[in-house]
Amino acid sequence: MPSQKELTAAKRPRGYSEGWVATVDAVPVSAVLWLDSKSVVLASSFVGEQPKYKVKRFCKKRKQYTEVNAPNIIGHYNRHMGGVDLLDSFIGKHKIKMRTRKWYMRIFYHLLDVMLINSWLLYKRVETQRENTKMMKLREFRLEVAKALCWCGPSIIKKRGRPPSFVSDMLDERIKRKPKLNVPPKDVRTDGMEHFPIWSNIRKRCKLPACKGKSFVICQKCNQALCLNKDKNCFLSFHK
């Protein structure tokens, strides 16, 4: 693909264009170079150089508008560039500014920004349908996503190679002695998802080993009675 200097040296006229086609993962991709006031390069998987059309450009030498050729891909870009420019504008307001010398990390950070912008736009669309007038701004939305990821991370990640805890040993021993005992497996107890305490009308024996207390609190997911008060927190110990 010729550079700006090569195009100038070759004295290519304004409106000159070239196109190249390559196949990537069985998908044809077209790259088009167009010489306007400066060289413009665009790539697409559905449109290319042909057919060309006419556009008006101001000529400084003649001091009047003249018609020059433009590739088909330029017309598609001009019709839909509003969304691209709007996305760039949103990214520029709150961009990930982590410095790195690795080029692929820059692409990764850019993709994160794009996903956050798209998620925020979907959030606004849903809230608009709900007729909610108090919507989060982009900065607030990004902060909420960051907080959610920080909070959910440690509770979901499991460390392998550690011996089972005292609670797990006691529960496993109880299950061996009483196979019909309705106790959820360890992977369910410690997955850190949707274990919410709910109130029961009947006071039941706490299912935590070595605890002889009774409680009205039941885990919504495990369906086990567990003590949860200012003196004991069997609910937390059971799910570790």
First to last CA, the chain: 60
Quick check: 68 and 93 in contact, CB under 8 A?
no
Residue 87 has pLDDT above 70, yes or no: yes
Lowest-confidence segment of 14-18, 203-207, 232-236 by average pLDDT:
14-18
The residues spanned by each domain of the chain are 4-89, 94-156, 166-238
Q: Across-strand partners of 24?
A: 27
Quick check: 193 and 174 in contact, CB under 8 A?
no
pLDDT band at 218 (very low <50, low <70, confident <90, very high): very high
Quick check: 120 and 141 in contact, CB under 8 A?
yes
Cis bond upstream, residue 28 (ω within 30): no
Residue 62 has pLDDT above 80, yes or no: no
Residue 120 has pLDDT above 50, yes or no: yes
Mean model confidence pLDDT for the chain: 80
Residue 161 amino acid letter: G
String of DSSP letters for 64-126: EEEEEEE-HHHHHHHHHHHHHHHHHHHHHHS------S-HHHHHHHHHHHHHHHHHHHHHHHH
- Give the model confidence (pLDDT) of 9-34 as tens digits: 567 788 888 888 888 888 888 888 88
Q: Across-strand partners of 197?
A: 219
* 221 class by beta-carbon count within 10 Å (0-12 exposed, 13-18 middle, 19+ buried): middle
Q: Which residue has the higher pLDDT, 99 or 122?
A: 122
Find the Cα–Cα–Cα–Cα dihedral 99, 100, 103, 109, rounded to 10°. Answer: -50
